[in-house]
């Protein structure tokens, strides 16, 4: 009964997306920091985030909410990819990573092979690198 009421209530409304999850996560972080610091500014900011998140979830302007989410993802996805690449590099103990001194392309060589000559696939430059 409550489920069907909720389903009817949410019909035609936007619901959740990546931006709303992000807003809720930031809200939770702000609220935890607020509990330790008691800075009212953080509590107000957290409250604004919850209100914005609720407004977006219940909104019937689906087109506009999707556009907001798309813009959010356009900003976040490159950062997320850089973070994932950084994590992969730091966890990879079998390779050494460095940038091509000529074009800046990220490259890797197997560790423990001594000094080796490396050829950049992006610009064709050859240089010596310690592995």
Rounded Cα distance between 25 and 36, Å, is 17
CB 103 → Zn ion: shortest distance, Å?
A: 3
Pick between residue 52 and residue 125 the one whose CB is nearest to Zn ion: 125
Cβ neighbours of residue 52 closer than 8 Å, sequence gap 6 or more = 23
Residue window 41-70: x/- pattern of binding to Zn ion, with contact defined by CB under 5 A: ------------------------------
Pick between residue 16 and residue 104 the one whose CB is nearest to Zn ion: 104
Chain position carrying tokens 């019909």: 11
Binding of residue 100 to Zn ion (CB under 5 A): yes
């Amino acid at each position: 009964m409550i489920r069907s009421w909720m389903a009817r209530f949410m019909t035609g409304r936007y619901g959740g997306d990546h931006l709303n999850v992000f807003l809720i996560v930031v809200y939770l972080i702000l609220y935890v920091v607020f509990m330790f610091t008691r800075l009212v500014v953080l509590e107000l900011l957290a409250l604004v985030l919850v209100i914005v998140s609720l407004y977006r979830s219940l909104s019937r302007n689906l087109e506009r909410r999707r556009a907001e989410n798309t813009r959010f993802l356009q900003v976040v996805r490159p950062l997320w990819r850089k973070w994932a690449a950084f994590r992969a590099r730091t966890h990879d103990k079998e390779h050494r990573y460095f940038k091509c001194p000529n074009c800046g392309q990220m490259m890797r060589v197997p560790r423990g092979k001594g000094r080796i000559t490396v050829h950049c696939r992006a610009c064709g430059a050859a240089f010596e690198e310690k592995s």
